[in-house]
Every structure is written in structure tokens, then in C-alpha cells.
Amino acid sequence: TPTRGLLYPRDSETREVRRLDGMWRLVRSDPSDPLEGIREKWFSNNLRKTGRQIIPMPVPASYNDITTDNLRDHVGTVWYERTFFVPRSWKVNQRTWLRFSSVHYSAVVWINGRNATSHSIGHLPFEADISGLVSFGAENRITVMCDNRLGSRTIPQGLVYEANTDHGSEPVQSYTFDFFNYAGIHRSVHLYTTPLLHISDVKVTTQLTAEGLGRIDYRIWVDGSQEGRRIQPTHLLVQLRDRDGQVAVHQINKAVYHGTLLVPNANPWWPYLMHPDPGYLYDLQFELYVASNEEEEADALQDAYRLPVGIRSLSWSNDSLLLNGKPLYLRGFGRHEDSDIRGKGLDNALLARDFNLLKWIGANAYRTSHYPYSEESMQFADKHGIMIIDECPAVNIDIFEPQLLEQHMSSLEQLIHRDRNHPSVVAWSVANEPRSHKQGALKYFKSLVNFTRSIADGRPLTAAINANSSTCHLAQFLDIVGFNRYNSWYQNSGRTDMIVNLLTNEAQSWRDKFGKPVIQFEYGGDTMEGMHSLPAFIWSEEYQVELFSRHFKAFDELREKKWFIGEFVWNFADFRTAQTITRVGGNKKGVFTRNRQPKEVAHLLRLRYFALAKEL
């Protein structure tokens, strides 16, 4: 399990951050020989030397939808490469770090032909100290091999099999989850510096008392080896600045590594529409010092790192999830990181548009179905007061075995480690639709949840379950029981008059069996924008409206029982899937189209979400 690389790179008076985003070069390897590049040492030279076709490839982006040929369906490895300069000034008294926010699914990285790092499990960051591999004041080459193959021990699982094609025997990737297995360098690549003695990790937890006193407990980790000897910091200056830059509290901490700040009359972090000023963030500033021995000499600032912090309390009981002591009702969405051309590539324009739509429609939450979303989106959620159910990449887990369990735990450790400081995160989701009724699931989930609970950092555990309450082996371990159900879509298609009964009964059955708060994480139906039918017929906009209306009726009955704590639409927007006969160009259950325009149902949902916000 990586212990580094999960802290977001931020520049400061002691750190410099650059991005290696832009155009890279890509070469694909032969699908039937994915490791040929390793054997032939493609990393030791410019990729042009391979004699293969060089494809200009933007970073960040999925590589799949950029070209006009079959790169979309490539199985196996592709190689990325570019050059970059490292300034001369970076050589002295500091370290140079290379950080990937996400490469899907696995990556091996070389700098100037020498191995720098490797990582697997997409959607999660990793980094390496490359000070010893780069040439300072000169040009350097970075090479990345990216492998998109999913097997029985990857998170998520898939299956690669050989098939006879027009070009002979070729590997084919299959998977049961319902979104396209986009691949590539999906998020930014950062090149940054730290001083030799520096803060390598930070953890904060916050609380708010009924009297409005804020409490921030912090812990920092320090990396300090310097030419063989360890230098010890003598003190830490901690300053909490409010939104106007005024210091609200400060502290000189000689214990250095951990401490507590008390903030009188704190400005709490509130979710969107729960307060006139949601998403209030302070700036928590850490300065690491070594005291000077000389009387007249100032103490030497070693490193400075700043973290946005929201002060709030999160708690839960067998009936509710509470923020700052108030029970929450979550109005939200399942989503995807997905758009035209760039696939799962980070795009700030899309990110800003999506948050504007979330606010326009009155949502206060979403689930990061079915994998960790970009760190930039987590920061945005903090700022806008949108609550996050933070999900690990374990979607449709089917075969339960020990190596998989290890990967699954690792994905949760990395996710929680990366996201634990975000006030927006209100729960961890350990899986989406695992085959939790199957043999082996009980033992598997008992270990998984035990482990996750030990690192959960003050958040409840949940999952999105599609087994039923009588057969599921996972729900008993959770704090919040979440279920996915497609009444009047996969079941009883066309019969919207059966929704209220089935749904209220099912929610009640989860409650009766487990006695925990219950939430619906998915409901919906595919809807072709512009297709109309009166009376409603499945796939028409009218049908989506009718299906939602009946769900609203059921939710209103359930809301009378205080243990029903939220409703999540599937999905926020239409998205790409694998090619199957049930998907027309992809999954069309979006309330918005893939290019983020409303379908008819969006207007209805907006009325409901704003009405709910007013009521609570």
C-alpha cells in the first residue's frame, strides 16, 4: 500500500508545481503481444525508434475516442511519451516529484529510460521521487506504458479471452459493468518540488459543538532525510485563515506532528441549500521550521503547505445521518466521469458545467459511481457544499478470492487516504452491485468491511446493493444500507403503476432486516432525448417523467419514516457503455444528455429537489 502520493500537490513559497499536460506521443503495441515493448526496451529510446505509427495524444484524456480507427477497442498496452525540461534551480536542496492523478488501469513509468515507478488500479494517484533520474537544466524523456486489461484479480474485474477474427486470433476484453472501459492518462501529470525536509502527508478531522466552537485535530507526516542524516524540525506554525485571509487561530506547536485548534464562533461547512452560505472553507496553513542556534538569526522556514478545511461534525445512528447535528436527506445522483471525445479525461469546463447543473436542479449530493473521481472535482464539491458518497472502483465484483480481496482493500485504503480531508465526503461506498448473494461473499465482505472500518476516518460505510434483503451477505456489515432497483424498467417494464408498492415494500424489508438507515442509490429508465409518446411508452421522455413521478410518490411515503435518508437518480447524464444490444449509443438514463442539456424530466426533478430543500 502506498504511503506517499496521496496528498494533492500545491505550490507555496517552498514548492513549485508544473503540469506535464498537453500533447504526448502514443504508440500501441500488438494486442497479441502486449509486453513486446518491455522485451524490446521501448523505454530506452524515443518511441519513433520503434518504427510504429506515432499518434499525437492529448493528456489528460482517454485515448479511445481520439482517433478514427480501432484504437477505441484496443486491448493491451499503449505507450505514451514526451520530453520536458527540469530547471537548473531544482537541483539544489530540494526533491523533484512526478505525480500521476490517474492512469487506467495500470502503468509503468520510466524517466530517461530508467524505471521510476509503477501502479495499478485506475482512478487513484501515485508518485515517485525522480530527483535521481532527471537531468537538471536539460531535457528529459518520460515514457509510460499503460495497460487496460481487466482480469479476475483487478478492481473492477473483467475477462480477456482469445477470439478468431479477420486478423487471426486476438484478445477480446469483456466485462459486465455498464460503462465503457476508457483507458489512458486520465488526469493531470504533475511535476513538483519539495524541500528536502518537507511535509509528506496531512490529516485533519473537524468537529463543531452546539455552541459553535470549531475543533480541528491535525496530524502531519514529515520526510526529512538530507544527504544521509535526518534533520528534525523544531516547531510547526499552524495558522487558520478565514475566507478573507484573516488569521482566525494560530499556534506554534513544538510537538510538531499533531495538535488541536479551537475556533470560537466558527463558520461551519454546510451543504448547498441548507444554509445561505454553503461550502465555507478555511485555509489551514502549515509551516515547518528549524530553529536557528544564533540569537539574531531567524528560524529557517523549511516547508509550507496549505489545505482548504471545512469545519463540520458528521455523525450517524440507526435512524439517520447527521451533519452539524441536523439529520440529512440526500437529494442526488449517480454519475460518471464521461463525455464526448475525451472519455474519462479531466476537463475543467465539463466539471464547472456539471456543478452548475447540480445547483440548478437543487441536488445536494452525488455518489462517485463507480470509482474515485478527480481530486479537482472533490475540491469543487467542498467549495459548493455538494455532499459525496465516495465509492471505490469495485463494481460488479463476482468471483470472491483472496488476491482480489487484497486489491479491493488497497483500493479503499488509497481512496480514503486521498479523500479523508474533504468535508464533502459523508460516506464511503465499499462496492457497487457486488454479487453479494453468492457463496464466498459473506467471508469476503466481513473482512473487507472490518478492514475499512478501521481506516474509515469518521465516516459511515455503505454500498449500492442489487441483491435482495433476504439473500444479501453484505448489508449486515454496513452503517447505511443502499440499494439499486429498477422498478418499471428491468422489472415490470411499462408498468409504472407497480412502483409505489414494490418500492415501499422493498425499503421496508431492508429496514426490518438490518435496522439501519436506508437509501436508494439508483432508479431510472433509459430515455431517448426528443422521443415522445402519449400515453407514455418506454424510452420516451414522457415515460421517464411518469417513472420518476411514481418514485417521488413512494419516496414521500418513505420519508415519513425517518430512517429513509435519500434518493439518488440513475443517472446525472447519458454516458458511453460497451457495445451491447440494450444500449443505443450508450446508457441513456441521464436526466441530462451526454452534452449536458436537460431532458424533460430535469424540470420535474428540479421542482422536487427545491421543494425538498425548502421543507428540510
Whole-number minimum distance, CB 60 to ligand GCB, in Å? 23
Among residues 433, 506, 541, 542, the one annotated as catalytic is 433
Nearer to ligand GCB, 178 or 223 (CB): 178
Which residue is it, cell 534533520?
Answer: 231
Cβ-closest position to ligand GCB: 178
Residue 303 touching ligand GCB (CB under 6 A): no
Residue ranges in 534-573 that form contacts with ligand GCB under rule CB under 6 A = 570
- Cβ proximity to ligand GCB, 356 vs 580, nearer residue: 580
What would the 3-class secondary structure string for 5-38 be? CCCCCCCECCECEEECCEEEEEEECCCCCCCHHH
Cell numbers 501502479 correspond to 119
170 is an active site residue: no
Shortest CB 394 distance to ligand GCB, Å: 12
Q: Which is nearer to ligand GCB, 31 or 334 (CB)?
A: 334
Nearer to ligand GCB among residue 418 and residue 589 (C-beta): 589
Total of residues contacting ligand GCB (CB under 6 A): 9
* H or E element at residue 434: none
User: Is the C-alpha dihedral spanning 363, 364, 368, 374 positive or negative?
Assistant: positive
Provide the pairing of β-strand 138-147 with 168-174.
unpaired
Closest by CA position to 97, among listed 116, 122, 114, 84 = 116
Q: Which of 458, 442, 464 is nearest to 370 (CA)?
A: 464
587 is a site residue for ligand GCB (CB under 6 A): yes
Cα distance between residue 80 and residue 71, in whole Å? 14
Is residue 391 involved in binding ligand GCB (CB under 6 A)? Answer: no
- Strands in 321-323's sheet, in edge-to-edge order, are 314-316, 321-323, 326-327
Under rule CB under 6 A, residue 178 binds ligand GCB: yes
Q: Please tell me whether residue 338 binds ligand GCB under the rule CB under 6 A.
A: no
Contact between 14 and ligand GCB (CB under 6 A)? no
Nearer residue to ligand GCB within complex by CB, 146 or 503 = 503
Should residue 462 be labelled a site residue for ligand GCB when binding is judged by CB under 6 A? no
Q: Which CB sits closer to ligand GCB, 239 or 466?
A: 466
- State the CB neighbour count (10 A cutoff) for residue 277: 11
Binding of ligand GCB by 337 (CB under 6 A): no
Phi, psi of 407 (to 5 degrees): -65, -40
Is the CB of 4 or the CB of 437 nearer to ligand GCB? 437
Cell of 414: 488509497
Q: Does 77 bind ligand GCB (CB under 6 A)?
A: no
Q: With binding defined as CB under 6 A, does residue 154 bind ligand GCB?
A: no
Q: Is 119 a binder of ligand GCB (CB under 6 A)?
A: no
488 sits near ligand GCB (criterion: CB under 6 A): no
Peptide linkage before 60 cis (omega within 30 of 0): yes
Distance separating alpha carbons of residues 424 and 380, to the nearest angstrom = 9
Could you say whether residue 181 binds ligand GCB (CB under 6 A)? no
**Residue 465 burial by CB count (10 A; 0-12/13-18/19+): exposed, middle or buried?**
buried
C-beta separation of 523 from 570 below 8 A: yes
Residue 422 is a binding residue for ligand GCB (CB under 6 A): no
Q: Which of 432, 469, 496, 504 binds ligand GCB (CB under 6 A)?
A: 432
* Min separation Cβ 553 and ligand GCB, Å: 22
Residues that bind ligand GCB (CB under 6 A): 178, 432-433, 466, 484, 522, 570, 587, 589
Catalytic residues: 433
